[in-house]
Each structure stands twice: as C-alpha cells, then as structure tokens.
Structure 1
Amino acid sequence: PAKPADTQTSVWEEVKEAYRFLKSKPGVLGGLYLFTLIWFNVSAVQALITPLVLSYASPSEAGLIMSVAGVGALLGGAVMMGWKGPERRMYGILGAALAIAFILVLLPVYSSLVWIGFWAFVIMALAPVATVCSQTLWQRKVPVHFHGRAFSLRNTIMKAAQPAAFLSAGFLYQSVFEPLMKEGALLANIFGPIWGIGEGRGIALLISLFGILSIVIVLMAWSIRAIRTADTALPDENISRAAT
C-alpha cells in the first residue's frame, strides 16, 4: 500500500493539475472566482438575515420567513428541472446573480415581514438558475476524466468562502455597523434617513452594502469577455452534455 506521504503528494499533484487545466480555460476559472465572491456575499447575508428579522419580529415570525424562502428554493429547483436554464449559460449565471444583488440592496430597507418574506422567496427561487447554469457549464467545458479533480477544487474554494463570510459578517455588524447606526452615531447621520436608526439598522445597511458589492462584481465579470463568452468561446469537451 502507498505511504501516507505518497498519498498526500498525489492528492496535491492532482489539485495542481486541476488548477493548471482550469487556467487553460480562463472563462471557466474566472467564472469560478465570480461565483466564489458572490457566494461569499450571499453567505454573509445568510448569517445576517435572521438577526435582522429578529430585531423587529418574534422568533416564530423569523421562522416563517425562513419557511417562505425554502418554498422559493423548492419552486426554483422544480422550474429548473423542466427548463434547464437559458441556452447561454453565462447569461443565466450573471443575470440571476445581478438580480439577486439588486434585491439584496433593497431587501433590508423596510422593516416589514411581508417585504422581507417576498424578496427572500424571490432570491431563493432565482438561486437555482445560477447554480444549474454553472453546473451545466462546468460539465460541458471540463472533460469527464477531469471532473473529480476540477469539481473538488471548485467545491473546496467555494466552501472555504462560507466560514470566512460568517466570521466577517458577525464582526462587522456587531463591532462596526450596529454601533455606528445608533442615534447620533456617524453612519446614522448619513444613512439613517433611508435605512433607519437603532437596533437592526446596522445589519440592514451591511446587507445592502454586500448587495452593492455583488453588483460591482457581476458588472466587472460581464465586462471581461473571457467570462461573458465562456459558454460559446470555449469548445464543449463532452458532446453528450452539450445537448442538455
């Protein structure tokens, strides 16, 4: 049997080989960076949405919001099972990401359960569009014999973004934005007329800023031709996948 050191070396070599392959497809690799940054922002918002709702609603009402969002995810997934997404997969990824980003800017402005619930439903219904389009794009552009290594690398990079998002979101809202959105504080004087002042308004402002950052990221990705045209400029490696 192989020694543990040999196994570790082999795994590391496979990871490097997968990365070198993805570098040869800059549109796919750029899309991975885009998706990771968006995933970071969305993960941060996931950590913030419950304390935002709890700042003006009961735990049972917050649970209702989560249930409504879950229904949106189920509906979006069901639609994608039948539709499969637009023919231009990058348009599906970028379009859904941009729509979600705009919603994140507006979602926390009003302290209304109906408002939050509606947009949470829409966000979760849109999320499968980006996810399915991304998955299909990778299946088309990455050869089957590279799937294990390439998809593992992709998942590792994206999953690493989530705990970083949770930690940064918690620190920012507790130590920076909540104190600065109290009455008389610096940010309250600037942003208070729109986002309000007091408990939960620092979280609201932070969520909107994550949305604005997401808009900038998507627009930057759209401006990069290699990413925008990755689904058409790069050859399909798996013909059977290209038909789906």
Structure 2
Amino acid sequence: MTVITGHVRTFYQLLLNTGLVSVINFTVWFAVTFWTYLQTKSVFATGLISGIFLVLTAFTGIWFGSLVDNHRKKTVLQGSAVASLVFYGSALAVYLVVPEAAFRDPADARLWAFVLLLMSGVIAGNIRTIALPTLVTLLIDEDRRDRANGLVGTVSGTTFLVTSVISGVLVAFDGMLSVLLLALVVLGLSVLHLVFVPIPEMVSPHESGATSGIDVRGTLRIIAGVPGLFALILFSTLNNFLGGVFMALADAYGLSLVSVQAWGLLWGVLSTGMIIGGIAVSRTGLGKRPLRLLLLINMVLWAIIMIFPLWASIIPMAIGMYLYMLLMPYAEAAEQTILQRVVPYERQGRVFGLAQSVEQAASPLTAFLISPITQFIFIPFMSDGGAGAAAIGSWFGTGADRGIALVFVLTGVLGILATAIALASRPYRALSARVASAEPEPAPA
C-alpha cells in the first residue's frame, strides 16, 4: 500500500468526499455538453459551453482562493456543495418548465439560461480544487506530499472514468433529468458526510493574524519573491491558451468518429490511464527535479496532440489520449508540489487561486475564438473544394473532422516550440534552484 504519513484517515475521507462531488460536477458538465450537441448539432454551441466554464473559472479563482485561506476548510468544502445544490436545483426547475423545442435552438435564451445555471454549479465545485492541495499541506508530512498529490491524480482519473461512463448513458436514457436528480442526491450526502469528518485546524486564519481578504498585491509579492515562479505561471497560461483548443473541440471531433454512447464509454476506458498514472506517482514520487519533469512531460503531451490527428480514425486518437491521461497526473502533481514547497501555507489558497485565474484566463479566449474559426475557416478549408483539401487532402483526408484535426496538429507544433523555449530559459534555471533549496513547508498547527 502507498506510504504517506500525517493525518492520513482524515485525508482519505476528504479525498473520497471530494472525489464523489467531482464525479457529479463533471458528469453535469460532460452531460450538458453531449446533450447540447445532440439537441442543436452545433460545434459552436459545444465550444461556447467550454468557454463559459473557462471564463467563470478565470474570474472566480482569486476569490475562491481567498475563501480557502480565510475560512476553515470544512466550512469552505460544505459551502461549495451547498452552492452547487442551489444552482442544480434551479436548473432542474428550468428543465421541467421550458418546452423541449426551445432547447433545440442554439439561439434560444432559455437554453443558455439553463446552461449557465448548470455551469455555475460546476464552477462552485472549483473551490474544492483549490482547497485540496492546501489540505495536502495541512494533513500530510512534507516528504510525502508529492505522493499524496499522486493520490489526488488517481482520484481525478477515477472521477473521469465514472463520469465518462455515466454521463453518456444518462443523457441517452432521458436527457438531463437523471443527471440532475443524481446530482442533488450526491451533493446532499456530501454535506452530511462532512459534518462527521474532523479537520485538525487548531487556529483559524483570522485568529492567527493572517491577512484576510483577496489581497492580490500581497499574493503577487509572494509570487514575485520566488525566482521563476511568475514564469512558471505564464508558461502554464500559454499551455492553457493552446490547451483550450483541444478542450473546445475534442468532443466535436470524437463525436464525429463514434456515437455518443461509444464516446462516453471510451472516455471511461481512457480515464484508467489517469488512475494508473496517479498510482505510479503515489508509489514513486516525482524525484528531486519536479520542474524539469513537468516541462518534459509537457513536451510529450504536445507531441501526442500533434501526432494522433494525422489519421482519421478513433484508434490512434484512443492510443494517444491514453498516453496523455497516463502522464497528466505527473504534470499536475509536479506543479502542485512546486507551489506547496515554495509558497507559505497561509497564502497557498490565494496563490493556487491566482494561478488558476491567470492560467485559465487564456483558455476562454481560445475556446470562444477557435470554435467559430474552426467552423467557418478550417472546416471549409479541408472540405471538398477548399484549398486545404486540394493541397493535402490526398493524404490528410477531407471533411469536417479533418478540419478539426488540422487545428490539433498546428496546436501541438506550437506547444512543442513553447516548451522547448521554456526549458532553455533563465527563469527555468532560477526556479529549479529555488525548488531544490526550499526549506520544507511544515504542516501548520
């Protein structure tokens, strides 16, 4: 069994609780994306949903981080679940009273009111995403935190596995009704379970004299005081800018190759890669150079995105995505471990939140832009009669799916170039030295 030390029992209970809530939140997100595409047949609409998620994530990250730092962790976790309950309950009411025909029109305001309520419920769950790495610092001994971060990756993989299987099945069964009923039940149970989980916070942030409020300036000073940390956040921002392309178009591309049920089940199989990758991190750790590992993994991930679309088949996509999922826990655990090592505990919520906001701020732009660009430029470019189809169609293929594939290939090339530049940069060397020399951040009393 994986060896981690600290308040292990509490950590496992919180990990399980957060995992179940993440399952339901991602199920809602995946389901509304599948359902909207099936209702409207619009790539633009599915891309817009991704854009809504990323915009809300970008604008709420710093605020959520301040909530995590300035309140007891149990209060924050329970408040997150209650907020999601309210949004999903309101969405269920809209779903029951609005005529079904309104949901088939991508221009109907009632469709987007429904989507916004659902996505707001999903976003409320992001508080847990920010709180969880701070709980690792709180509950787990420093020399085992990278392994605990690996367990977080395992839970994330399990979340995607369960989500991918049930979201497609539930949507195929009765649209969004079962999804919403399940969400209300699971979130209610989550709030009840947390009542009985003790979190050993001996001193609240306000009692300890820690600076309260959002305090962006103070958070920026903390980041600026760590050589190369701004550069890491900017690199992650660029990664997310390019990654927003994949996020916005992956469902449309996959659904152009297989049915919604097959796509959902495939994601379930692919998600076992995250489980295996997370277990591997929890067993072996990340080594002494987590930053270098992070960048090398990014190089491989971009190569995968560049290579698998070269064939118009679900098989290379499935193989590439499995490798992608296998490596993702290493990248996520590495970034979390770096921040846990160099940022004081009382600021970690705000730093994680600020990093989330800045990194995700690029993705909304990509998600909003790339869907119409793909729909109106790249798809015609690669369709019969298009210049791209005439130039490379003989070996690359033609049609709407090949237009999306071309976007993926170009994105992968840009990602590889950006990562190579980062590896050769001075901020990379400075942050590597800082991480190597960092004093362990003790679990707070």
Same fold at TM > 0.5:
yes
Per the alignment, residue 42 of structure 1 pairs with 243
Which one has the largest radius of gyration? Answer: 2
Which of 398, 419, 422 is residue 197 of structure 1 equivalent to?
398
How far off is 1:173 after superposition? 1.1
Which amino acid is the alignment partner of residue 23 of structure 1? A
Match of 1:169 in 2: 370
Q: 1:72-87 alignment to 2 at 5 Å? A: 72-87=273-288
1:32 aligned residue (212, 216, 233)? 233
Cα distance per residue 1:133-191 (max 9 Å; x no partner): 11111111122233232222112212333333321221221121111111231222333
Q: Assess if the C-alpha contact under 8 Å between 1:76 and 1:128 holds in 2.
A: yes
Whether 1:231 aligns to 2:432 is: yes
User: Where does structure 2 lack aligned partners over 5 or more consecutive residues?
Assistant: 1-65, 67-211
Displacement of 1:229 after TM fit?
A: 4.7
Aligned to 1:4: none
Task: Give the match for residue 180 of structure 1.
Answer: 381
Give the C-alpha shift of residue 213 in structure 1: 1.2
Give the one of 348, 361, 372 matched to 1:160. 361
Measure the CA separation in 2 of the matches of 1:99 and 1:27. 22
For 2:440 and 2:391, locate their aligned partners in 1 and report how far apart those are by CA, in whole Å.
Answer: 53
Asked if structure 2 preserves the Cα contact closer than 8 Å seen for 1:68 and 1:120, the reply is no
Structure 1 residue runs without a partner (length 5+): 1-6
2:268 corresponds, among 67, 72, 77, to 67
Structure scoring higher RCO (CA < 8 A, sep ≥ 6) equals 1
Deviation at 1:87, TM superposition (A): 1.8
TM-score (norm 2): 0.49
The answer for the alignment partner of 1:111 in structure 2 is 312
Runs of 4+ in 1 over 6 A off after TM superposition: none
Task: Give, in whole Å, the separation in 1 of the partners of 2:303 and 2:395.
Answer: 16
Identity of aligned residues (%): 27
> Secondary structure of the residue that 1:217 maps to in structure 2?
helix
Look up the match of 2:302: 101
Number of equivalences: 232
Q: Distance in 2 between matches of 1:141 and 1:76?
A: 25
The residue identity in structure 1 corresponding to 2:390 is N
Could you give the per-residue CA deviations for residues 50-86 of structure 1, whole angstroms, max 9, x where no partner exists? 2112223222222233122211122212211222223
Show the 5 A alignment for 1:13-24.
14-24=215-225
CA RMSD of aligned residues (A): 2.2
Shift of 1:32: 0.9
In 2, the alpha carbon distance for the partners of 1:168 and 1:68 equals 30
SS of 1:108's partner is helix
The Cα shift of 1:105 comes to 0.3
1:138 and 2:138 aligned: no
> Per-residue deviation at 1:88?
0.6
- Which letter does structure 1 place at the counterpart of 2:407? L
The correspondence for 2:418, drawn from 212, 217, 226, is: 217
Q: What secondary structure is seen at the aligned counterpart in 1 of 2:338?
A: helix
